[in-house]
Structure 1
Amino acid sequence: MKHVEGTILGAAIGRRSFLKGSAAAVIAAGLGSSLCESQPAVADEKKTGASEDIVKPGTCRGGCGAGCQMNVHVRDGKIVKTSRRKQSDPDVTRVCNKGLTHALRVYAEDRLKYPMKRVGERGEGKWEQISWDEAITTISDKWKEVAEKHGPRANGFLCGSGNITPDSQHGKRLCSAMGATLLDAAQDRVFYASFPPIVGSFKGAGGGGRNDLKNAKHIFIWGFNPSEGDSQTFHYFLRAKVEHGAKMIVIDPTFTIAASKADLLVPIHPGTDGALALAMANVLVNEGLAKEDFLKSDTVAPCLVKEADGKYLRLSDIGKATVGAPEDKCVVRAEDGSLGALGEVANPVIRGTFAIEGIEVRTAYDLLLERVSEWTPEKASEICDVPVETIRELAHLVQDGHNSVNIGLGLDHVTNGMATFSSILSMCMIAGQYGHPGNTAKGMFRGEISIGWMPYGLANPKGAPGSQVFYSPALLNCMESKKYGDKDINIKTLYIWDHNLFGTQVGGVRWRKFLEDVELLVVADVVSTSTTNYADIVLPACHYFETETASGDDTRYVFHNAKSAEPLYESKSDFDIFKMLFEKMDLQEYDFKDIDELMNAVFDNPTAKKINLTWDRVKEEGSVLTFEPDDRVMGQEGTYGTPTGRLQFYQESIPLDTDYGQTIDFMKERLPYWEPPMEAWKENPLAEKYPLVFTSERSKYKVHTQYTRVPWLLEFEDEPYVAVNPVDCEARGIADGDYIRMFNDRGTCTLRVRFNNGIRPGMVVIDHGWDLDQFVDGFYCDLLGYNVTPVVANSYYFDTLIEIEKATV
């Protein structure tokens, strides 16, 4: 098996040797087998025989979003294990298999030890150790040189989700102070961009909570596998099913663990979920199941839309308000023909075409029905490969009682994702599934985010020049023109932290082409990755538990993360690294003097003050519950955080995540629709050459490429594999367990195949999170394209076609 010949840590080692060596390192550190034990919270000191364990609070804060706090056990200055830490809410007293392995991550063999500079070609693995002073001076001098020659925007920063706390995100503040360019990885952007304009944006106590799931009659799990990718939520689903009798419906191309628990499984053709939702809406309307009273009271259904420009008819159009004034509301029509403002007419009509003072208008609901009308169950059945009777059954289930419709990131990863989310959310409006007990669902769980936790505004200090933001996938599409909308693309330096670019982003081959023009690539990380191995300068960052901070993820708590041990080797926290860079760039006026000043700023807001949430209190108490768990439902008072205060299946204005010079078809985007994925579609001529749809799944053993080299987890799965239906393999002469080559025009990747009858023929599913040097040859991220859509320049991981063949290894 081939591996990269050189790494930052020296010569590459084989996988089996790595396992043995790591185990020896664990034993040498005094860890032993106790690391896997999960214990309840303990006092700050506990007798353990010959020595004492000091137990401190630590928080896991990577990209899974769970934000679990745990006990960090320290013995003789070394972190020896982690265990569950008891919280006042038993549902947040938890730790997963990955959380139990943090001690191995602290003492990992691939841990970065000291600053390094490249002495060979990029990616060659030849390094020279340098001092921190040389590293920081080299970086800052280059930044100043580039800013003078090309302007400050030519310096770029790229941050990921490897450490989502204010101290780590401090680099964004430096980027703003320098007036540099911030690259947004644009991952899961459809998921986060779709909900606010359609159903509203609620955080904290204003949104919905997971406890409401027990009130649902039916729970739809659509396009994700929470048993592995959202484990902090899955037990709520199971409890609703087992203890409260909820029926679970799973819509997924793949037979997952969640699917195995379903009362109804719908193995849909990948990329066709929007068509299914529109067909369900068609059934609801044509069979008289649409909840018209709800549509009148809670949605924009009665709003009158001008035929000429697609804008709402407003009171100013008929001389009853000033344009743009708060009272310039949408006009609705009563049954007797009288007109009034939205919300002020008791029983507005939701159907009809009218001429009002010479202006031709239609109700928004009529426009929605026009889109829905073409999506008969028969038409959708052919596209989705779902039987007509199943489509009708789903439509009847979704309107029967109060139900929770949970939409996952699998739908986000397809280029038609925004329209798919719009279609599902609009179908739920027709079914009346908002604002009632049992209606809370994924996407609304942001209502669990701690109140008073407000670190995000700190990225833009007052008086700083500010940064410009480029979305990475859009950037890759603009390389030839060197224009991002009306902005020049001329990035000459790039600083990456908390992010493994090559292991997590689309367009890997395209990224290497882009980096040819980057004169200095700096990567800060805890361990060696495919991105650190490509850098010009590497900076060793410390582990979560080697620095003090706090986190306020969607748990309702703010958790303290104590400094449990000194940083190993010469590693430093991201905060300390950025402090040195602030100083070298003569930008101390925008910096915080220490972590205490930073954290005090996080809690310097009216909400935190109202509940007495302070940094001192968080440190003293360890965890602060900012509001009690309850059965809140977003929209239960009949108002929603949208421009109209209503659920909006119709978009008067199309909010853009980013403007990279794209052209928008406004009339198409205003309402839900379905169209095939750009690449991964059977009628694409490219499918003749590359007939298989490439997808990935979230692994219980990884969070992106974090944990991918943890020895204990490698004992469960010690090398990459791809799951394929036996039908597709046997047609190509491939046996179960063979090494195969996946390939397309962009790249190639060699790995083992596993037969899996739960995978639909015509697609493959890889276990996401393996890094470059763990493959026999090539890299699966190099297969990924970088198509973007006009409304959301997202990372569309599942819009990829490939072919496979047996490989000789």
Structure 2
Amino acid sequence: MKREDGNIGLESKDESILKREFPRRTFLKGSAAAVVVAGASTAVSGGIMTALTPNTANAATSVDEHTAQTVCQVNGCNGCSLEVLVRDGNVVRTKARNIPREGDLNRICARGASWAHQVVSPKRIKYPMKRAGERGEDKWEQITWDEAIATICAKIKEYQAKYGKNSVACMDDGTMMYNVRWSYTRLKNIAELCHVNKTTDMAYAQSAFLNVSEYFFMGANHYENVLRNLKTFIAWGSNVIEAWPQTWKFIADAIEHNGAKLVVVDPNYNTMASKATLHVRVRPGTDGALAMAMIRYLDEQKQTADSYLQERTVAPFLVKGDGRFMRKSDLQTLADPKMDDYVVWDRKTNAYGFASEVKDPEIRKGTFEVGGHKVMTAYDKLLERVAPFTLKQAAEICDVPEATIKEFAELLATNGPAEVLEGFSVDHYVNGYGSLTAVNSLRMVTGMIGMPIISLYPTADGFSAAEANYPKMSGQIAPFMFKDLLETGKYEMPGKTLEQQLKAWLIFGGNPVAQQPDHNYMVECIKKFDFVAAANVEFCESTKYADILLPVCTSLELSDIAVASSCLMYAEQVITPRFESKPDFEICKLIAQELGLGEWFNFDFDHVLSAIIDTPQLKGQGLTLERLKQEKTIALATPTLKQAATATGRLQFYLETYVPFAYFGQTFDMEKIRLPYWEPPNEAWPVTAGGYEKNPLADKYPLYYYTGPRRFRVHTSMGNVPMLRELEGTEPLVRMNPEDAAKRGIKEGDHVRIFNDRGHVVAKAVFSAGVRPGMVDMDRGWQENQTISGHYNDLTSMTRDWATANNAFYDALCEVEKA
């Protein structure tokens, strides 16, 4: 049998054109040229000149050349439309493609320009394989697809029969492609597998949907027009230039052509902050305290958007002592239960009325009585919650001058329209949900949020509207439960004991071993599973511990559908699948058939694509797969809604009821979670400030540990692309403030050890005065065998707030020493 080496380590030597030094003024031009040259040279045999020769140059040479349209669907980006040049069946070049939206050129970044490298990566998994050594040795033996699928399915049947359906866990969070999510969701349901919720960005998702009803800046809702018309833009915990460079153009246009002011709320002076009118250099993890102080200040200064609060938010709703909104049924018998309106206090009649009828409801009235119930308005509840956060208190907590907080607040109140792009940085602390709801509440108090727009998201739920009765997943768990379930079959959480035998883990895409918090914990856990199967494009840390590997197509080797820039796009299959790789849909179909569930996949791939756009909103615009294939990109009409798609139909800074997105039956403090709140980070609190005592652990580990976004990768994705590796460097870096380095005897260029009680990582130190003193900014996305020692996620922890069960990647302390 053929042996395959799965090594994904650093190359020892690279003599590519990108190693040449370019003059400073021509660096970008040289880099762009190198993208084309390198892509052509790796994709086409015969050398660089042959690849770049026009097909008209030699009449005797037959060259099959064409262009195709696809979409760069990389997790964390906004879905750029690409035009791909294909020559003799190989990807030669990708470039931005025009989209039919106001003549805009859809931009791409270096990641999108690197596809010519990615499809021919030497790190690709080429064939189905089985483990040939000890788990983790990365030694493999090539097998057939039949053997691989038969082995996986035999294990599923064995464990489910002996230990229960939920003994086989499945994670499929590694892609943004709709057809992939649709296929695996269907498979998980019909096979009754146990879903593994990675619990990443749960705080961000919950605050967005429960407070506001949706993501705003994720590309679906004409956000470009909103950005162009802003007078004040707030990048709150988001470095758009690095993470979403496609979006930066619209902000830059607003600054240049509309005189917009840019506010950046970030601990570090970074590329985004360098463009800012105002940089609010907040202490890490204190964003909620800042937002709550601004709400209090603006209310005291009578600079709140009162009519907006009355009409668009839950501000006038009366709240009873049990925390629930007062309704008409609390005061009278209803003939129709559907007409149970919310009760408000009418300022004109000085009596109670109903939200659908009263034009001028009270929002500030204190505690009073209605129908035998003591009540307060929801807005008074908010003011009660923010009352402790004076400007002085916030200045101490956040380490931001009172004058800066005032300037920031007054800018929001007087220089509109304004909007906030909340980044994922705020999400990455244990207190992230409370802080994000505080920021969203500030948006409501200042009247920022425009009328809601219908989000024309395709469906990824795995079933068509006609399929009502089908098997369901056997439950969900999270990686932080793995160790206890594997060792004892039980997991204790507040209010519940989960009993479950965990035997097998199917990892379809993604790299959870590297990307989940507490890397050492994840390695320990994956070794304890009786059986692990992984399907992926490339070898990675997670595939290293598998028993069976399945090779998967890249997104250029299959077709898909995407929504971005308010367009529905058809992503064509650009090239045929390389090696023995298969699309995820075919893998799901093979598994279903082997499990005796083939009737659930008795269709072809076009059925999947048709089901993805089979939604009332898209069908209402006359959209069909046939039309989309013909037109390729269709501009969508996205009308505004009359009310927000929340439980109340209004923007909600107060939640009557709350169920976490990652819900496992745990209990939590409902009273706290109803309103925005702030409390110090769980670990990352090395100071005593604002009456909050420092974490004693800071005596041992005094530095904040931070892993910010990087322009040339998305987490571990694209970490093996030679072109991108050369642009960002060939080893991980840690950015330090020179003051912190000098205290530790560290010189720029030294290899240093960043460590805490959970683990360590070794990286090269580079200095930046822009890094906040007392903080280190470690490169993320480098895998274990790409470092000298350790792993960037060795230092992070599985600690969570049970109301959100969210991965708190930045809530960590560390120390640094010379390696």
TM-score, scaled relative to structure 2: 0.89
Contact 1:163 1:498 survives alignment (8 Å): no
Contact 1:306 1:313 survives alignment (8 Å): yes
> How do 1:475-486 and structure 2 match up within 5 A?
475-476=481-482, 479=485, 481-482=490-491, 485=496
Contact 1:168 1:573 survives alignment (8 Å): no
Which of 409, 412, 424 is 1:398 aligned to? 412
- Residue 669 to residue 216, structure 1, CA distance change in 2 (3 Å): same
SS in 2 for 1:577: helix
Contact 1:221 1:407 survives alignment (8 Å): yes
1:603 maps to a residue whose letter is I
Is 1:679 matched with 2:679? no
Contact 1:521 1:536 survives alignment (8 Å): yes
> How do 1:40-119 and structure 2 match up within 5 A?
50=61, 51-89=63-101, 90-91=103-104, 93-119=106-132
2:793 maps to a residue whose letter is C
- Residue 47 to residue 360, structure 1, CA distance change in 2 (3 Å): farther
1:627 maps to a residue whose letter is A
1:192 maps to a residue whose letter is A
Q: Which residue of 1 aligns with 2:592?
A: 582
Is 1:161 matched with 2:161? no
Q: Which residue of 1 aligns with 2:722?
A: 711
Is 1:237 matched with 2:248? no
Which of 575, 578, 582 is 1:572 aligned to? 582
Shift of 1:86: 2.1
Q: Which residue of 2 aligns with 1:488?
A: 499
Contact 2:491 2:497 survives alignment (8 Å): no
Residues 137-156 of structure 1 show CA distances to partners (whole Å, capped at 9, x for unaligned) of 11111111111101111111
> How do 1:8-407 and structure 2 match up within 5 A?
9=5, 14-17=10-13, 27=41, 29-30=43-44, 50=61, 51-89=63-101, 90-91=103-104, 93-167=106-180, 169-201=182-214, 209-307=223-321, 309-321=322-334, 325-335=337-347, 336-352=349-365, 353-400=367-414, 401-407=416-422
Residues 360-395 of structure 1 show CA distances to partners (whole Å, capped at 9, x for unaligned) of 112222221112221111011011010011111111
Flag as ranges the 4+ runs of structure 1 deviating above 4 A. 10-14, 18-26, 31-37, 45-50, 202-208, 447-451, 459-462, 476-480, 483-487
The whole-number CA distance in structure 2 between the counterparts of 1:63 and 1:798 is 20
SS in 2 for 1:777: coil
Q: Which residue of 2 aligns with 1:651?
A: 655
The whole-number CA distance in structure 1 between the counterparts of 2:418 and 2:576 is 49
Q: Which residue of 2 aligns with 1:772?
A: 784
- Residue 541 to residue 356, structure 1, CA distance change in 2 (3 Å): same
The whole-number CA distance in structure 2 between the counterparts of 1:117 and 1:672 is 50
Q: Which residue of 2 aligns with 1:463?
A: 469
Contact 1:473 1:794 survives alignment (8 Å): no
- Residue 602 to residue 434, structure 1, CA distance change in 2 (3 Å): closer
The whole-number CA distance in structure 2 between the counterparts of 1:34 and 1:318 is 83
Contact 1:450 1:627 survives alignment (8 Å): no
Shift of 1:710: 0.9
SS in 1 for 2:707: strand
Shift of 1:530: 1.0
Shift of 1:503: 2.3
Is 1:747 matched with 2:759? yes
Is 1:759 matched with 2:774? no
Structure 1 unaligned residues grouped into runs of 5+ = 1-6, 38-44, 437-443
1:463 maps to a residue whose letter is N
Contact 2:70 2:556 survives alignment (8 Å): yes
The whole-number CA distance in structure 1 between the counterparts of 2:354 and 2:222 is 29
The whole-number CA distance in structure 2 between the counterparts of 1:449 and 1:48 is 49
The whole-number CA distance in structure 1 between the counterparts of 2:464 and 2:695 is 43
SS in 2 for 1:397: helix
- Residue 319 to residue 424, structure 1, CA distance change in 2 (3 Å): same
Is 1:721 matched with 2:733? yes
1:17 maps to a residue whose letter is K
The whole-number CA distance in structure 2 between the counterparts of 1:206 and 1:771 is 32
Aligned residues: 775
**Worse overlay, 482-491 or 198-207:** 198-207
Is 1:667 matched with 2:671? yes
The whole-number CA distance in structure 1 between the counterparts of 2:51 and 2:736 is 33
- Residue 228 to residue 459, structure 1, CA distance change in 2 (3 Å): farther
Which of 409, 412, 433 is 1:418 aligned to? 433
Q: Which residue of 1 aligns with 2:538?
A: 527
1:728 maps to a residue whose letter is D
SS in 1 for 2:564: coil
> How do 1:629-644 and structure 2 match up within 5 A?
639-644=643-648
2:447 maps to a residue whose letter is G
SS in 2 for 1:740: strand
Contact 1:651 1:671 survives alignment (8 Å): yes
Q: Which residue of 2 aligns with 1:454?
A: 459
Is 1:803 matched with 2:815? yes
- Residue 732 to residue 624, structure 1, CA distance change in 2 (3 Å): same
Q: Which residue of 2 aligns with 1:617?
A: 627
The whole-number CA distance in structure 1 between the counterparts of 2:477 and 2:583 is 26
Shift of 1:351: 2.1
What is the percentage of aligned positions where both structures have the same residue? Answer: 34
Contact 2:562 2:571 survives alignment (8 Å): no
Residues 723-773 of structure 1 show CA distances to partners (whole Å, capped at 9, x for unaligned) of 111111111111111101111111111111111110001111122221221
- Residue 477 to residue 354, structure 1, CA distance change in 2 (3 Å): farther
- Residue 749 to residue 448, structure 1, CA distance change in 2 (3 Å): farther
Residues 63-119 of structure 1 show CA distances to partners (whole Å, capped at 9, x for unaligned) of 023212212222122222212222222435222211111111111111111111112
The whole-number CA distance in structure 1 between the counterparts of 2:73 and 2:49 is 23
SS in 1 for 2:437: helix
Contact 1:693 1:802 survives alignment (8 Å): yes
Is 1:497 matched with 2:537? no
Shift of 1:294: 2.2
Is 1:691 matched with 2:702? yes
- Residue 396 to residue 653, structure 1, CA distance change in 2 (3 Å): same
Shift of 1:290: 2.0
Shift of 1:229: 0.7
Contact 1:218 1:247 survives alignment (8 Å): yes
Residues 243-297 of structure 1 show CA distances to partners (whole Å, capped at 9, x for unaligned) of 1110111110111211111111111111001111111112101222122222222
SS in 2 for 1:104: helix
Contact 1:154 1:491 survives alignment (8 Å): yes
Contact 1:209 1:448 survives alignment (8 Å): no
Shift of 1:19: 6.4
The whole-number CA distance in structure 1 between the counterparts of 2:805 and 2:48 is 46
Contact 1:82 1:101 survives alignment (8 Å): yes
SS in 2 for 1:392: helix
The whole-number CA distance in structure 1 between the counterparts of 2:313 and 2:549 is 52
Shift of 1:227: 0.4
Shift of 1:46: 7.6
Quote the RMSD (CA, aligned, Å): 2.7
TM-score, scaled relative to structure 1: 0.90
1:74 maps to a residue whose letter is V
- Residue 432 to residue 557, structure 1, CA distance change in 2 (3 Å): closer
- Residue 779 to residue 110, structure 1, CA distance change in 2 (3 Å): same
- Residue 48 to residue 372, structure 1, CA distance change in 2 (3 Å): farther
SS in 2 for 1:378: helix
1:663 maps to a residue whose letter is T
1:337 maps to a residue whose letter is N
Residues 525-563 of structure 1 show CA distances to partners (whole Å, capped at 9, x for unaligned) of 11111111121111111221122x222233222222222
1:802 maps to a residue whose letter is C
Shift of 1:522: 0.8
Shift of 1:465: 2.0
The whole-number CA distance in structure 1 between the counterparts of 2:595 and 2:668 is 40
